Amino acid sequence: MQYNESEFLIETIVPKDELIVSRTDLKGNITYANETFAQISGYEVEELIGKPHNIVRHPDMPKKIFKELWKTLQEGKSWSGFIKNLRKDRGYYWVYAQISAVKKDGKLVEYKSIRTPISFEDKIKYQRLYDKIKKQDNESIRVVSYI
């Protein structure tokens, strides 16, 4: 899908005193979303339930970050990191995400994610890092396609 860069210029700031909380099934489909998640993402809670969590994946995010996230979770470990998310209105918001397993009677049943705001400095730092990663990935794709 092609995106118009100007669509992604409006940032929503996550309030310092708010937690964004969601839960997903083992395939990444949202089973619970708190009102803060709905409000910040621009969706209604009902619109989020049953949808893949990647409904809020911003195109600036390198795919390898999510590959690492899922690999870590499948190894039974918790994952945390900085994520730029896409709002329903095509704006964006930055969070620090902590994702962990939820077990019932010793069996993995779902994942929970708690997201908090990040500093302006971290937004700049991680935007630059993710831009660099995506550029390297794109260059690798071009090199491979010519071989």
Closest CA to 93 of 64, 129, 123: 123
* Position 144 pLDDT exceeds 70: no
Confidence of residue 111 (pLDDT cuts 50, 70, 90): very high
**pLDDT on residue 5:** 53
What is the rounded average pLDDT of the residues 63-92?
Answer: 95
Average the pLDDT over 113-122 and give the result.
Answer: 97
- Distance, in Å, from the CA atom of 59 to the CA atom of 110, rounded to the nearest integer, reads 25
What domains lie within the chain, and their CATH numbers?
5-146 (3.30.450.20)
Q: Could you give the dihedral angle defined by the CA atoms of residues 112, 48, 82 and 113, in that order, rounded to the nearest 10 degrees? A: -10
Residue 138 scores a pLDDT above 80: no
* Rounded CA separation 33/30 (Å): 7
What is the pTM assigned to this prediction? 0.85
